Structure 1
């Protein structure tokens, strides 16, 4: 008797092994299909996030252009101002 992965291949056992292997292949095909769907979903998500990042970069660049260049350190200038109650 020949053995393949711990199962006897002789007689009626061969038909059972074929059924088991077919079930395993079907299960793997289902898992592969779900994995493919997940990859497609994640790809779409990454593309959407990249669009958002690009939009935010454009917005930051636009805001930087609006800040007058002669002001220097804007945070430092605000620190040096006296509060309104003085």
Structure 2
């Protein structure tokens, strides 16, 4: 092989190594974001459940009688 060809192959191998590292870092971020989204979805579901319990106990604000001065 010529020296020029060896340099090109080395350059391509170096780029591939950096791209592999970048892909792994991006994958780690995506996995962590998936965990965060799942945790947030569970929290929202819990808040909705609590809200429905409170509404059930105290009634919906729209169902309240108008104040006496009406």
1:2-81 mapped onto 2 (5 Å cutoff) = 18-68=2-52, 69-70=55-56, 71-72=59-60, 77=62
TM-score (norm 2): 0.74
How far, CA to CA, are the matches of 2:33 and 2:39 in structure 1?
Answer: 10
> What is the aligned residue count?
60
- RCO higher in 1 or 2 (8 Å CA, sep ≥ 6)? 1
1:62 positional shift? 0.1
Higher helix share: 2
Report the structure number with the largest CA radius of gyration.
1
Q: TM-score, normalised by structure 1?
A: 0.61
Q: Which runs of 4+ in 1 moved over 6 A?
A: none
> Structure 1: 5+ residue runs without aligned partners?
1-14
**Structure with the bigger percentage of strand:** 1
User: What RMSD over aligned residues (CA atoms) do the two structures have, in Å?
Assistant: 2.2
